[in-house]
Amino acid sequence: MKKRLYLIILFTLLLILSVSIGVSNIKFIDVIKLDPDTWFLLLTSRLPRTIAIILTAVGLSISGLILQTISKNKFISPSVVGVTDSAQLGILLAYLLFGTLSLTFKLVFAFGFAVLGSFVFITILNKIKFKNEIYVPLIGMMFGSIIAAIVSFLAFQFNATQFIDTIGVGSFTTKIAGNYELLYVVIPPLILAFIYMVQFNIIGIGEDFAKNLGVNYKRTMMLGLVIISMVTAAIFVVVGSIPFIGLVVPNLVSIYYGDNVKKNAIDIALFGSVFVLIGDILSRVIIYPYEIPVSLTMGVLGSIIFLYLIYRRVNHAK
């Protein structure tokens, strides 16, 4: 409980810092005085960005937790097993077939292909008898690479490489302006995720065990895949691709809190928000007043933590 309190305090401090940082400084005395210019900046730029950061962090962290639980492997996440690549393929096909699209239309295609991609990966995984912790992520990366290769081929054939490059970079700047409301669609699936967290934990143990406890294995598995796909697709359409969040956050929290999935969910959401807030703040201050894509910052931080997790796992195995 004390660790969660520390997380909440850190989260609150980073929240205030995130709202404060920018080219135009926000003074809290002006906020209290209800200064019109300050409140306009706050409501049109800083708060939407911060809301987008929190929804993205919570969505990707919980999606990673669900996928790791139902697949019984801690080294995978939606970005590792091709769910993100499938969403990108859906957006590209929609663009090639229908031309200029609204964000809502992109989301529909991204969601459909993300569900298909996650279902194909889980099907492949269930066919494999020997499920080593390292082999499963490798299979996921190969599956994702195949989809990414199809995306690159189609984009090159139809002169859509620039379009793919623009939607692939994760950023909370220009993409969020006027579009962050679309991220609200991740809230209902996240609520469902918290409600069904115990069932996800049960089906992660095995199909026979789930049936003995009265849990519908296939229906719960499909629900988990739909939640992961909806959240991943919405974040990819609005924000872009942000690596490592769904991979490292559940693992780091489980190191300190154990593997109680239902108990850890809130802490994972908090820690994921703290992690992405730190990455976003660094992205804004490293070359201030300019900004680097948050996907680059998170890629560097996430890869360092991921190497630590692998090194720690190897040492524990010895």
CA distance 224 to 114: 12
Can you give the C-alpha Rg of the chain in angstroms? 20
**What is the pLDDT tens value at each position of the chain, 318 positions in all?**
677 788 889 999 998 888 887 766 676 676 677 777 777 777 777 888 888 899 999 999 999 999 888 887 788 888 878 888 888 888 888 888 887 667 778 888 888 898 888 888 888 877 776 556 667 777 888 888 899 899 889 888 888 887 777 776 677 775 555 567 778 889 999 999 999 888 888 887 877 888 888 888 888 888 988 999 889 888 888 888 888 898 889 888 888 777 777 778 888 999 999 999 999 899 888 887 778 888 888 888 888 888 888 777 666 555
We find that the CATH architecture of domain 2-317 is Orthogonal Bundle (1.10)
Rounded Cα distance, 232 and 234, in Å: 6
208 C-beta neighbours (distance < 10 Å), count: 9
Distance, in Å, from the CA atom of 16 to the CA atom of 11, rounded to the nearest integer, reads 9
Q: Render pLDDT for 49-102 as a digit per residue (tens, 0 to 9).
A: 888 899 999 999 999 999 888 887 788 888 878 888 888 888 888 888 887 667
Q: 3-state SS string over the chain? A: CHHHHHHHHHHHHHHHHHHHCCCCCCCHHHHHCCCHHHHHHHHHHHHHHHHHHHHHHHHHHHHHHHHHHHHCCCCCCCCCCCHHHHHHHHHHHHHHHHCCCCHHHHHHHHHHHHHHHHHHHHHHHHHCCCCCCCHHHHHHHHHHHHHHHHHHHHHHHCCCHHHHHHHHECCCCCCCCCCHHHHHHHHHHHHHHHHCHHHHHHHHHCHHHHHHCCCCHHHHHHHHHHHHHHHHHHHHHHCCECCCHHHHHHHHHHHHHCCCHHHHHHHHHHHHHHHHHHHHHHHHHCCCCCCCCHHHHHHHHHHHHHHHHHHHHHHHHC
With contact defined as beta carbons under 8 Å apart, do 171 and 293 qualify? yes
